[in-house]
Chain A
């Protein structure tokens, strides 16, 4: 559960289809300091595929993917 993880910034990207939640995450990661944890809320079905792929490729850490009532929460730590 996310209550065990200290979230530094929440990006509510529900209802965002263009540019979409992954682009919002990329923006937030670029602005964040190494070690900060970002939570992204997404209602876009593509995020479950996109976000884990990019996080791994870019060398960050996916701390969790949580299904909520009408959206999914992705928790990511900036590693570099």
Chain B
């Protein structure tokens, strides 16, 4: 009997568990997933909660109901990984051993690392998104500034997507003329992907969305409503929305498995932690220089689940992760873009269409019953 221990019940951990449960015999595989809360949250929905288009309770489900019946769910927090002894210590004091470990612990928000962050809002967790929805609802006019407080951060297009959606939000409310939307891009273009940036810039220009390029938020000065960049510029705001700095999770840092940012050095093809043949890393927890996003975790998790199953069976060809990422950008006004690429194929120039907006809405619906099961 091989023991597979999965840390984290987000999109990556859940798909690994379900794919493995389907592909490996329960007589020869024991699958345990450890999650601190037992509540699974659909993170791409945060922006819609912040904009008042989604109820927070619709984004949360019980993790148990999302897992194959052969997966043991332990609601507890992993606090220390001992790769030499092949054991994981939990907050309760319980110790679990493993033959295969999958670290899918995600990223941790660290707003305290950005001076003055208490003056800012964000949409990177559910509670903050609810607070931002109230602030936006009562916003009577002025300059809304959207910036990025550190690298890396989850879902690189999300802040500029939010700027586009704010244009739609205030247009629908009839108060767009009272609101200036100003996006601070960390790059010398408005979008991370060069082949898509021209179209995003057209969308922003046509919507009257202002932007400053090469502005990485370094410090906020709440007493004067100023945000400062590490490049030496400043901008005044009436409402400030900043992506909080991210780090790897504490269990990774405490176990000495992370780099300076707490991300685990990971082989970009095998998804094994470098130096360990029995530890896989999925999703935001890796140091792989591609998008930290659910779409990335989704495709990585399928590879890891299939490969562990093949290893246990002692058969089957191992698959390498090819860097596949596919995501859908909501540009507002019920139009969207599809962005897809892998390590070898840069994204093609995107097209704006209603089809991709509705595809994004469809994914929100099939996430629970199809994507998390690893069917696609």
Contact = CB atoms under 8 A, between A and B. Distances in A.
A11 interface: yes
Q: What secondary structure prevails in chain B residues at the interface with A?
A: loop
A58 B289 contact: no
Interface stretch (B23-31, B40-48, B185-193): B185-193
B194 A27 contact: no
B325 A18 contact: yes
Interface in A36-72: 44-46, 49-50, 53-54, 57-59
A23 B188 contact: no
Interface string B317-343: 000000101000000000000010111
A59 B325 CA distance: 33
- Interface size bucket, A side? 20 to 34
Interface string A8-30: 00011111111111111011001
B156 A23 contact: yes
Contacts of A12: 289
Contact of B291 (A18, A31, A53, A54): A18
B289 A54 contact: no
B156 A57 contact: no
A11 B152 CA distance: 13
Given A53-B214, A58-B231, A19 B156 contact: yes
Contacts of B344: 15
B150 interface: yes
A18 B339 contact: yes
A44 B323 CA distance: 14
A14 B290 CA distance: 10
A21 B289 contact: yes
A27 to B, nearest CB: 4
Contacts of A15: 268, 290, 323, 342-344
Contact of B187 (A16, A23, A27): A23
A27 B188 CA distance: 16
Interface residues of B, number: 32
Contacts of A54: 187-188, 214, 231
Nearest to A50: B188
Contacts of B289: 11-13, 16, 19, 21, 24
A22 B231 CA distance: 14
A28 B306 CA distance: 33
Nearest to B288: A16
A50 B343 CA distance: 20
Contact of B151 (A27, A57, A58): A27
A54 B342 CA distance: 25
A57 B216 CA distance: 11
B193 A20 contact: yes
Contacts of B260: 31
A18 B5 CA distance: 30
B346 A44 contact: yes
B231 A57 contact: yes
Interface in B135-150: 150
A18 B290 contact: yes
Contacts of B188: 49-50, 53-54
Interface of A: 11-24, 26-27, 30-31, 44-46, 49-50, 53-54, 57-59
11 contacts: A18-B156, A18-B192, A18-B193, A19-B156, A19-B291, A22-B187, A23-B152, A30-B151, A50-B188, A50-B189, A53-B188
The 4 closest A-B pairs by CB, nearest first: A15-B343, A27-B151, A46-B194, A16-B289
